[in-house]
Chains A and B, each alone.
Chain A
Amino acid sequence: MAETTIELRNPSGLHARPAATFVKAAAGFKSDIRVTNLTRNPDKSAAAKSMLGVLGLGVSHGHTIRITAEGADADEAVNSLREMVEAGLGEAIGG
């Protein structure tokens, strides 16, 4: 199992557009990928391939999320999703 923890820097949080970018990317991997919003509720996770699940985590600016993956391409999935979140999921993010 691969795992990473990262802070979301998008000014409006994980709203529709960046969430869509994230979910689409997750759907490209075979692994079972799950996301947890550690800031809001560390006990609740959602499938990274579910748009409603990801939106339902209510990830706001400055929240920390954990991404875990299990499967053949788990490492690749976690690394690539982490990089995408760091780069702002297609949005400009401030320092």
Chain B
Amino acid sequence: MRTSLRGVAAAPGVARARIWRLPERSSEDASSGSGMGLEEAAERAATELESLQERLRSRGREEESEIFGAQAMMAQDPELLEAAQGAVEQGTPPEQAIRDAAERAATALAALDDELLAARAADVRDVAARIVRILRGEQPPRLEERSIAVALDLPPSITAELDPALLAGVALEAGSRTAHAAILSRALGIPAVVGARGLLEAAKDARDIAVDGGSGEVFLDPDDVTLAEIERRSAEASALAAADAALHDQPLQTADGHRVMLAANIGQPEDSQRAIDGGAEGVGLFRTEFMFMGRATAPDEATQTGAYAKVLESFGERPVVIRLIDLGGDKDLPYLPLPHEENPFLGVRALRLADAGHEDLLLTQLRAILAAGEHTGRQPWIMAPMVADLSDVYRLHELVAMAAFGRTLGVQPKVGIMVEIPSVALVAELVAPEVAFFSIGTNDLTQYLLAADRTNPGLAERQDPLHPAVLRAIAKVIEGGHAAGIPVAVCGEMAGDPAGAMALTGLGIDELSMDAGAFGAVKRALAGVSLNDLRGAVEHALHAESARDVRAIFDSMRAPERKAVG
């Protein structure tokens, strides 16, 4: 039997090997096999963690080594041990006692409205698991042969113990691109796929596994045909990676040297480094929703200021566009009770919340952005989504002025808008003189213009931003923006699609903002064509029958070997 699953591509490369599963720990308390007391076991755990920290530091893996430094201190935490010891004296078995004490500390950390600190909750549980293992007299997990680790998630202490020479890849049912195991895999240069739902169930009876960390695919007990196919893809991917590396230090430009600013879309401060490493000239879209999701109360001004300051700091002189929260009735947030909407994308969301009793939410965010600008001395670019017309623009300026009230600003923010509602595209030339920049959100602009719900997979073919009508709307926005002398960017998925980037460049766009993972493909696409040819192609595209025809025009301009995979 052969099964394949798709998860998130977390570290590139292809590998096939034996499955290694994380040994299951029974939750029952076996009688402590080591004969050690709690304190001695905790001390041993701290020693282990410190030597792990040293080992990683000596290999230059500073960032990971610090996780173990923090864990070593948790293992020796006087309050944690006191709490556990107290429970032991009351008759609780030591394993249970340390797990309970750690769980209480973890719950307290997870409840903090601070992303970074909440992430430490997993570290406390991990420390308790280590102490329990030592109490039981069990050895740390180890690989016997070349294997791919398959698990729900891999805590840092496990991944660090595994012999990197035998670890061929990682496949996780949970986790994200920023999960510890994903970072480790990229550092080791081994493929990793995370967030592969159903993986554990599917792998239950399998012996071998193949992972394609470039596409995010996982194959259980793959046959030879499958294997040959993924190896072919892997060779292709590494050829492209070599081509990307050659373009890495080049700016985004056409064959005849017409430059377009290359910016990154980021979802959290931790994404900054990857964008900078990829050569981003700034951030074209910093989505701030991450701070507002999965929590009981809205993040306070100080928490938000910290996150914004971190990104402004990371990018130095380069511009960072911070988008005001785009929340609406489709998100269920305990602190933002919104009535159910039949059409949340057409409902009360984002800027419209200001006039629906939630002005404070936006004001707090604006104050935090202004404070971050003051703390770092960098000029923040503020972008509002869901702007429909000139009166929305005036409302936005009013909110910014209210947030700035009583504050002496050393650096004035730039205030611009996201162009996604068709009405504002139609009046672009009226709005442009009143804002500092335009950034076109092509995903929503397309769904609104073409009346095709983005969340309905059955309409996928009707959501192509290369549609002539969308291109005409974009042309109008660029024209209006340039007449007023303001820059016009695109921060939707169209910017990171090679054919889309070509069309936008032909239309005269100033900046393309995309996930850092798309930089290479977009640079390659533009490097192969001249601006004149793109302008000519755009003329045809504006009069084409459908998005499919437009796509064919731009695909035909791309070199054949690039077309297949780009």
Binding site for B on A (CB under 8 A): 9, 11-13, 15-17, 19-20, 23-24, 39, 46-47, 49-53, 55-56, 58, 60-63, 94-95
**A15-B116 in contact (CB<8A):** yes
Q: Can you give 5 A-B contacts (C-beta < 8 A)?
A: A9-B375, A20-B66, A60-B114, A62-B306, A95-B377
Measured as residues with beta carbon below 8 angstroms from the partner, the interface class of chain B is 35 or more
A56 to B114, CA, bound (A): 10
**A13-B77 in contact (CB<8A):** no
Task: Determine how close the nearest CB of chain B comes to the CB of A11; give it in whole angstroms.
Answer: 4
**B66-A24 in contact (CB<8A):** no
Q: Which of B284-343 contact A (CB under 8 A)?
A: 300-303, 305-306, 309-310, 313
By beta carbon, the residue of chain B nearest A16 is B70
Q: Which of B90-128 contact A (CB under 8 A)?
A: 105, 108-109, 112-114, 116-117, 120, 123-124
**A24-B73 in contact (CB<8A):** yes
A20, A39, A50, A58: the one contacting B80 at CB < 8 Å is A50
B108 partner residues in chain A, CB cutoff 8 A: 52, 56
Known pairs A11-B309, A51-B73, A62-B371; A94 contacts B377 (CB<8 A): yes
Q: Which of B60-90 contact A (CB under 8 A)?
A: 66-67, 69-70, 73-74, 76-80
**B309-A61 in contact (CB<8A):** yes
**A60-B302 in contact (CB<8A):** yes
B70, B113, B269: the one contacting A19 at CB < 8 Å is B70
**A20-B105 in contact (CB<8A):** no
A94 partner residues in chain B, CB cutoff 8 A: 309, 313, 375-377
B303 partner residues in chain A, CB cutoff 8 A: 13, 60-61
B78, B117, B309, B375: the one contacting A55 at CB < 8 Å is B117
**A13-B78 in contact (CB<8A):** no
A68 to B362, CA, bound (A): 37
Known pairs A55-B120, A95-B377; A16 contacts B67 (CB<8 A): yes
**B73-A61 in contact (CB<8A):** no
A61 partner residues in chain B, CB cutoff 8 A: 302-303, 305-306, 309-310, 375
A23 partner residues in chain B, CB cutoff 8 A: 73
A24 to B117, CA, bound (A): 18
Task: Determine how close the nearest CB of chain A comes to the CB of B296; give it in whole angstroms.
Answer: 13
A56 partner residues in chain B, CB cutoff 8 A: 105, 108-109, 112
**A15-B117 in contact (CB<8A):** yes
Known pairs A20-B69, A49-B78; A12 contacts B116 (CB<8 A): yes
A95 to B305, CA, bound (A): 14
**B69-A52 in contact (CB<8A):** no
A39 partner residues in chain B, CB cutoff 8 A: 302
